[in-house]
């Protein structure tokens, strides 16, 4: 049985360009902080990748800080000045919530200053949330205003056009493995001139902003993946993927009128569909589809295996039963029309069996 991978929002398959760059980087024996020829060669690999990441993200190379991933990059939220609160959008990823020093806007809306932390594109639904425009130099958010803006662009970058500079953000985070790079490497984007406490103390690497010897091999793969992702955007690859998503949704909706497509009327990532059917647990659907040869998800990969109602889906207005029955399908550049039609056929077959048993 040929398996079909439809869980690109959890992690994208490693791009050939990233693999080749990583293999080549394995021969770089030097430490990037060393001044001899071997060290300079390793440093050159890191700086080339920094430029590739910056080119995709619309920022200066010097604004890119390499980290172990977006979760570590979000630690910058712990380093806002004393007395400043972090206001977290309710649909933000758990990695953002974990590093905020308060539980959202409602608890303490009248502090001396705020940082607004939000995700640009939701991993579970694909819904894109545009940051608010500044008013009198601050970002309005509910009953408070924020001085700074932190954006989690992990799901968005490389799939939709986005630029750090025109976004107005002060910080942003992303992970390599979401766009076809290796796992365990990512970046924090920091507005030029913005000062903050180091993410990690130690030897002072990354201009003192994140200590620790750079992961040369991983960074090389990250940079190559970013360059390939930029080419895909320019070539219209994600427009074609959006057509596949629409084919899938039409195939399901034509058979099951009651299916709820979460955020279908909103602007979404071109590759993501999240649909819900009451009563049929999302975790059960994932297991049944896995046995049928399809890799899909019932939500964020970081939450898999945890029995809980999806927080984001409830925040978007779904009932508890609907949220429990949600399934996410996410596609990528190697997904084909045959893949999505085969999945639709298999899912509809199992949905029919579930309804018959439930009757």
- Show which residues are catalytic: 302
Q: Which of 330, 250, 247 is nearest to 294 (CA)?
A: 330
Beta partners for 148? 115
SS3 350: helix
Q: Read out DSSP for 58-76?
A: TS-GGGEEEES-HHHHGGG
Cα separation, 333 vs 12, in Å, equals 10
CA distance 62 to 66: 11
Burial profile 209-246: b = 16 or more Cβ within 10 angstroms, e = fewer: bbebebbbbbbbbbbbbbbbbbebbeeeebeebbebbe
How distant, in Å, are the alpha carbons of 170, 189, 200, 259, 270 from that of 167? 9, 12, 26, 35, 20
- Longest CA–CA span in the chain (Å) reads 74
Helix (H, G, I), strand (E, B) or coil at 265: coil
Question: What sign results for the dihedral spanned by CA atoms 103, 164, 180, 201?
Answer: negative
Query: Residue 152's beta-bridge partner residues?
Result: 119, 173
* Burial bucket for residue 82 (CB in 10 Å: 0-12, 13-18, 19+): exposed
């Amino acid at each position: 049985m040929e398996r079909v991978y439809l869980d690109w929002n959890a992690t994208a398959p490693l791009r050939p360009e990233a693999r080749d760059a990583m293999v080549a980087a394995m021969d770089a024996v030097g430490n990037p902080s060393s001044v001899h020829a071997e060290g300079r060669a390793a440093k050159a690999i890191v700086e080339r990748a920094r430029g590739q990441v910056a080119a995709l993200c619309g920022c200066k190379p010097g604004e890119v800080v390499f980290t172990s991933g977006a979760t570590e990059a979000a630690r910058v939220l712990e380093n806002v000045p004393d007395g400043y609160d972090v206001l977290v959008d309710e649909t933000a990823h758990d990695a953002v919530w974990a590093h905020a020093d308060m539980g959202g806007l409602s608890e303490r809306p009248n502090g001396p200053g705020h940082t607004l932390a939000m995700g640009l594109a939701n991993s579970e639904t694909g819904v894109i949330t545009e940051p608010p425009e500044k008013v009198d130099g601050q970002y309005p958010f509910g009953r408070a205003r924020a001085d700074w803006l932190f954006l989690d662009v992990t799901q968005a970058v490389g799939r939709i056009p986005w630029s750090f500079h025109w976004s107005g953000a002060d910080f942003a985070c992303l992970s390599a493995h979401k766009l076809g790079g290796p796992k365990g490497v990512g970046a924090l984007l920091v507005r030029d001139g913005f000062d903050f406490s180091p993410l990690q103390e130690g030897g002072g690497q990354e201009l003192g902003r994140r200590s620790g010897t750079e992961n040369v091999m991983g960074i090389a793969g990250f940079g190559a993946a970013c360059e390939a992702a930029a080419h895909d955007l320019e070539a219209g690859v994600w427009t074609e993927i959006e057509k596949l998503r629409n084919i899938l949704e039409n195939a399901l909706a034509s058979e099951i009128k009651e299916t709820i497509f979460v955020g279908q009327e909103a602007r979404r990532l071109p590759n993501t569909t999240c649909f819900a059917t009451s009563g049929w647990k999302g975790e059960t659907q994932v297991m049944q589809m896995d046995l049928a040869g399809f890799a899909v998800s019932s939500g964020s990969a970081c939450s898999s295996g945890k029995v809980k109602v999806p927080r984001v889906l409830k925040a978007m207005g779904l009932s508890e039963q609907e949220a429990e029955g949600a399934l996410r399908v996410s596609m990528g550049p190697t997904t084909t029309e045959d893949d999505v039609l085969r999945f639709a056929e298999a899912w509809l077959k199992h949905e029919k069996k579930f309804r018959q048993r439930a009757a």
